[in-house]
Amino acid sequence: MADNTVSRQIGQLLILSLSAHGGATVHGGAIGLVQNTAAKILADRNALIAAEALYGQRKADKVAATAARRDAEDNARSWIAAMIQWMKSFFGLTWSSAWEALGFSGGSIAIPADPVPTLETASAYFLTHPQHELNDPNAPIAINDTTAAAQQAAVVAARGNSADSNVLLGQAKQARDAALKALYKRMVGLRAELEQLLADDDPRWYAFGFNRPADPEQPETPDNLVLTGLDPGIVFANWDDARRARWYRVFKQVVGVDPEPVEALTQIEESEALVQGLPSGATVKIHIVAYNAAGDSAPSATQQIVVP
């Protein structure tokens, strides 16, 4: 009996659900599909697409918020470094008790890892000691209570945004995982419903994206392998989906180096892969083998390319 395992991998699940929606649209009424109709499949599929898109956006937002937080902290430390240099003309080149007024205790005037407490203290200090401010418009940076407060506010705001981005990312992941679970459950339910409505050798199984249970177990041979050179040492391989394939193996043979093809990648779920670490300028031969729990397919036709 052919394998009709429903993948939990998003790409594979979306491909299956697209076929399933088409099959349900065309054949659902004729075969008496009730529990897993085209409308229900489409709703669950669209929900996963939207949830995955939002999750991707939230990940990008988190990266940006993290970078903004680091920039704000780096800017604040740079301001503190300039402030230390300026105040040396009043408090001396090394630490003394006078520096405690600016929050430097413990015998050190080193730039702190967390700039916020020092910025807060500096803002209060310069507010009451304006004679120690640097307000020269020709100076590269102003040292006063206003700039200290502004640096502090920027760090606090950036940290708040970064924390919020973590929360939003977590919520988006929960929503994506719930949508993934719902579509997976829908496809498993559809498979079970079809088992009650279709004979094992009914070709309409294919319309829903499934194998016929009466089909042979091993996958069909992958077809239409295309190789594209990308960056130095990297080749992109893509091929048509092989029916009944659960995973793919990618084999490579560097001409003049490998006497036989060697397995470069395994458990590839999509019908594409990046083959990396290849010697630039060499000719490489690549072929694909599909496999599932029942065994391997015959190897695809071999293609070759000169590695960038």
- Residue ranges covered by each domain of the chain: 1-215, 226-306
pLDDT in tens for each of the 308 residues of the chain? 677 889 999 998 999 999 999 999 999 999 999 999 999 999 999 999 999 999 999 999 999 999 999 999 999 999 999 999 999 999 999 999 999 999 998 899 999 999 999 999 999 999 999 999 999 999 899 999 999 999 999 999 999 999 999 999 999 999 999 999 999 999 999 999 999 999 999 999 999 999 899 887 888 999 999 999 999 999 999 999 998 898 999 999 999 999 999 999 999 999 999 999 999 999 999 999 999 888 899 999 999 999 99
Is domain 226-306 in CATH 2.60.40.10, yes or no? Answer: yes
Q: Give the CA distances from residue 91 to residues 95, 177, 208, 249, 260, in Å, rounded to whole numbers and listed in that order.
A: 8, 58, 79, 69, 74
Q: What is the pTM of this model?
A: 0.71
CB 305 within 8 A of CB 226: no
Report H helices in the chain. 10-31, 38-91, 116-128, 145-197, 204-207
For residue 134, report the phi and psi dihedrals to the nearest 5 degrees.
-115, 105
Cα–Cα distance for residue pair 99/132, rounded to 1 Å: 13
Q: Convert 122-147 into a string of H (helix), E (strand) and C (coil).
A: HHHHHHHCHHHCECCCCCCCCECHHH
Take residue 249 and report the two structure tokens written for it: 């193996």
